[in-house]
Chains A and B, each alone.
Chain A
Amino acid sequence: MKVITQEEISSLVARLCIQANTSLPADIREALDKAREEEPWPLARATLGLLQDNLTLAGEKCLPICQDTGMACVFVELGQQVALEGDLEEAIHEGVRRGYDQGYLRKSVVGDPLNRVNTGDNTPAFITTHLVPGDTLTITVAPKGAGSENMSRLAMLKPADGVEGVKAFILDTVLKAGSNPCPPIVLGIGIGGSFDKVAYLAKKALLRPIDQPNPDPYYADLEQELLEKINATGIGPQGFGGRTTCLGLAIEQMPTHVACLPVAVNMSCHVTRRATGSL
């Protein structure tokens, strides 16, 4: 049995909060570089260039890439042979508290959805835990901003709507969102499961690097087709017009009921952040 302490977890989470908010994952950076090279519309090309400049500036000045440093969404893969000393969730909340304080990150969480008083330290973290084989604890911090989160949608389609219905819903979601989620966007898409599982699938899809296609060729083709369709809408970077509306998207699917076809779109932006570490 490997013993992992509450303190080790808190310091890892604190470090990941700061890392995620100040430097983008390689797949998102590369997608942005490639999009700029391939963008035919001058204003869009210039706008993508400014987004690249922003990344450089954030690195140089140790500033967050975006001021909405988000809700701290934390994904935990807990090896079944790990013995935890202390409380896992409390350790994560403490890590978020420290990371958002030490990293000068914005505290964007209210303690109650209707009475809306800021908790002052960006806690609670939004934690999803899975048990996995082995003796490793892997933690991913994926801060999520509201501008794009608010444009996310879920629908319980009819099986008869089929793949065409799913495509239409996703495209409609992108068109309705327009310029709000700071395009170029990144999409996490869930198909199947139940009302709650499909939302989780969409969120999980955002954790997959966008240069990694779905392992099932049917869904990989669907990802490609949707990406092309979204990049033909003309919305463009920031909604000012152009080709680059979407940097990439990932679909996660799972079994569902004979009478169900749930679909969920978790909208994300060019500041799609995630940082992973293990103990």
Chain B
Amino acid sequence: MEYRLTTPLTKEALAPLRAGDTVLLSGIVYTARDAAHKRMTEQLDRGEELPFPIQGAAVYYVGPTPERPGCCIGAAGPTTAGRMDSYTPRLLDLGLAAMIGKGARSQAVKDSVVKNGAVYLGALGGAGALMAASVEELEIIAWPDLGCEAVRKLRVKDMPLTVLLDPAGGDLYQSGPAAYLESLEKK
């Protein structure tokens, strides 16, 4: 199935998604990776506001290359999401609706995705030029000292994504290879 979704995302909009479905995502996506997650967690510990409204938000784990003059973004494929696992359940509990990245997540993240009716979406790993093509605007909104890890607000149009973890507990990294192997046995 293919879904067109626009941020902010509601639980109702995410509920029908299943691992393996395609999502074309439009609206606002915030970037954050290792260092930004650490700082966001420290902000929460101190009772401070996060750099962006987390309710219904989509976060993209990416550190783009610098933009050339006349381009709004450089190459912008996903980074390995597992490095953010320890920070993630807390953000999901606060209303984070979608994470965009690549690679397997911990059991704690999978459980939290189900509990909160959220999704984990896959961007194509290593396809930096292709993923950048759906970004229309970029603005650094926090921690420019972090360079490629600074938090950026991206306006995206039809960003092509694949559902990896769904609210019903589906996991494409399990079901995808299993389905392929099963198809071989049938032959």
- A residues sitting closer than 8 Å to B (CB atoms) are 41, 43-44, 47, 50-51, 53-55, 57-58, 61-69, 104-108, 116, 118, 120, 146-147, 150, 178-180, 182, 233-236, 238-243, 269-271
Q: List 11 A-B contacts (CB under 8 A).
A: A50-B160, A51-B127, A53-B130, A63-B75, A65-B129, A150-B80, A178-B173, A179-B102, A179-B125, A234-B181, A235-B177
Residue of A nearest to B149 (CB): A118
Query: Which A residue's beta carbon lies closest to that of B82?
Result: A180
The answer to whether B126 and A51 have CB atoms under 8 Å apart is yes
Q: A233 vs B176: C-alpha distance in the bound complex, in angstroms?
A: 12
Chain A nearest Cβ from B185, distance in angstroms = 11
- B106-156 residues with Cβ-Cβ distance < 8 A to A are 122, 124-130, 132-133, 146-148
Instruction: Report the nearest B residue to A107, measured CB to CB.
Output: B147
Using A179-B173, A236-B180, A239-B173 as known contacts, say yes or no to A51 and B124 having CB atoms under 8 A apart.
yes
Top 3 A-B residue pairs of the complex, sorted by shortest distance between their CB atoms: A241-B176, A182-B125, A234-B177
Given contacts A66-B75, A106-B64, A106-B148, contact A234 B180 (CB under 8 A): yes
State in angstroms the CA–CA spacing of A130 and B125 once bound together: 34
CB distance from A98 to the nearest CB of B (A): 14
Beta-carbon contact of A238 and B75 below 8 Å: no
Bound complex: CA A57 to CA B182 (Å):
35
B76 within 8 A of A: yes
B126 and A271 form a contact (CB under 8 A) = yes
Which residues on the B side are within 8 Å of A107 (C-beta)?
147-148
Give the Cβ gap from A219 to chain B, nearest Cβ, in Å: 28
Q: Give which listed residue, B80, B130, B173, B175, contacts A54 with CB less than 8 A.
A: B130
With A180-B103, A234-B177 known to touch, is A50 a contact of B127 (CB < 8 Å)? yes
B68 touches A62 (CB 8 A): yes
- The interface residues of chain A lying within 8 Å CB-to-CB of B130 are 50, 53-54, 57
Whether B65 lies near A104 (C-beta < 8 A) is yes
Cβ of A122 to closest chain B Cβ, rounded Å: 11
**A-B residue pair count with CB separations less than 8 angstroms:** 157
- Nearest residue in A to B123 (C-beta to C-beta)? A238
- Could you tell me if A41 and B103 are in contact, using CB atoms closer than 8 angstroms? no
A54–B129 contact, CB under 8 A?
A: yes
Q: Flag if A242 contacts B74 (CB, 8 Å).
A: no
Q: How far apart sit A58 and B133, CA to CA, in the bound complex (Å)?
A: 10
Q: Which residues of B contact A47 (CB under 8 A)?
A: 124
B27 to chain A, nearest CB (A): 21
Q: B128 touching A54 by the CB < 8 A rule?
A: yes
Chain A contacts for B128, CB-based, 8 A: 54, 58, 63-68
Identify which of B35, B103, B125, B181 gathers the most chain A CB atoms within 10 Å of its CB: B125
B102 touches A68 (CB 8 A): no
- Inter-chain CA distance A179–B181, complex, in Å, is 16
* CB-CB under 8 A for A269 and B126, given A67-B76, A68-B79: yes
Residues of the B chain whose Cβ atoms lie less than 8 Å from the Cβ of A58: 75, 128-129
A106 contacts which chain B residues (CB < 8 A)?
A: 63-66, 74-75, 148
- CB neighbours of B1 from chain A (8 A): none
Give the chain A neighbours of B147 by CB distance below 8 A: 107, 118, 120
How many Å from the CB of A58 to the closest CB on chain B?
4
Q: Is the CB of B124 within 8 A of A238?
A: yes
Check if A67 sits within 8 Å of B63, measured CB to CB: yes
Contact between chains at A63 and B74 (CB < 8 Å) = yes
Beyond A67-B128, A243-B180, 9 additional contacts (C-beta under 8 Å) are: A53-B127, A55-B129, A65-B129, A67-B62, A67-B64, A106-B65, A241-B179, A242-B177, A242-B180
A269 to B125: give the CA distance in the assembly, Å. 9
How far is B175's CA from A236's CA once the two chains are assembled, in angstroms? Answer: 12
**Does B95 sit within 8 A of A, measured CB to CB?**
no
Is B71 part of the binding interface, using a Cβ–Cβ cutoff of 8 Å? yes
